[in-house]
A and B are shown apart, each in its own frame.
Chain A
């Protein structure tokens, strides 16, 4: 019964969304206040209905109601509770319901906190948001209904893919979706502004927090996914340039570009048309990502419920929304004339360079991802595009971005001087060069990637510190230090996020170039060297877990005779899903991770063992978290908390 109520709530939500998508828009056009006022309550009702439906589905997973097809296919009574709940979104239907829920919640957030938005803009934003809601609710109900019942409920379920039974992955999809769907807010604001024919600083001030929030969620979601791949897949890789990973990376790159261009709109009333276009493209790429993941047109290690019919539906949604918005853009973009003028050397230009590099990088990822499809369809060639291509074609843009970041971030608005901002950065440059030279001297005869990573990482981090310090003005060091604490949070957010980017760049280069790998057969009781460590395989035993069987190794790691750690790598078999997995044992450290994997028993009596030293692995996740934390600091800046967008900010008049 309760399941039918959930189903019913979902259908009602579609009806409410239909009303929300049409009447307020008409009202905004006619200037009818009552019709416009409908948008808020409708958004709240839609969110409540979808939340109820989601609650019902979660309930069905918690009590293992196998009369539901989704629960039967993705759950099992013996599964730990956390994964029963996570199983709600660990499948196609449930994850789409989560998608729709987040979409509705964002809409409700505008209805709740958007009291200070102009009435017309608010009605239009909510209407556009509801249009997306209508499309996805229809998609959910017509092609992937999570409330489909089975005629004869089976005794037990078929279990969730064991690779997904993991705390890191349980929270990876919700974060990604919060990010993907968060970009729908930027899209709705962009389309509403196009209908309105007006973009100003207040508009940018409204769009930026939403984009920032979406970007923070995407950053955390991607980092979680990457961390999961690192410890779960068993060979210590952290990024595979897989189509599904790329699908989340492209919106991230464009959201990062959008964040920066919205600053220019907010502070200088320039780059308006471009910012609108970016907002449309960022959400467009979220939809493309959804299409890639859900349609299965591009083979990927992430084999979700792939279905061509669903793919066509999403392709239609993608075409209608992105295409429609772009047509609107073509018609109306002329009205968005820029106000703030700026010189070729200025903060504005630096941010444009940032935007060009990020957008082109996103495009390179895009073409690399879909090229196999294009080549197959139009050229009759069956090709693959993988890591070597992306390393060669994508990395240069990131290198350029890291190089221009410190001086660009310190340039003055309107008209800057490269010489002046570089002069302040001389200590940062010297430090970066010195440490890179040191790294080069220490590593003897390996790729140049490591020292280059040190150079870029130190340059960006020291540049961020220099930037922050320069904000404290002149005077004695003590005085400036005191002023440091009083700087706006946005300044701190900028420095922390840029510093996080530097650390991430360094960690990626370090992991790619200084990894130590060892593969060998080891007898029980035998030791082998790994870098400066000594590893001994003590014993291998068979163990049973709650819903799996495990072959458990015990390995002792020593260094110069002193005990470092005892690690227990496992091989697991999940009988219900008929899937074996490897569980690497990792000793996390500040400068390196020790990463041990147990392989098969050999005919000779020993065990195959893979061991790695992963240098600076933790720095990668720390760098990503710092980026997200920097975003959070910016988001908590007073300007956004106090009456965001209430007053129309007048930019500094141009010369």
Chain B
């Protein structure tokens, strides 16, 4: 699954550590999501969407 997490984070000038703190996860988890190594669970995806004030489907995109 592709996602726009890195793009949305850098738009806000947040570091990975800043985002991790806001989501209450480790920086490693943020990095793994951004690099596509790990797809977050639905509750975490909702948390990300709520934080960026967007819908889940506008952040997480199925691979073509």
Q: Do A and B bind each other?
A: no
Binding site for B on A (CB under 8 A): none
- Residue numbers of B with Cβ under 8 A of A are none
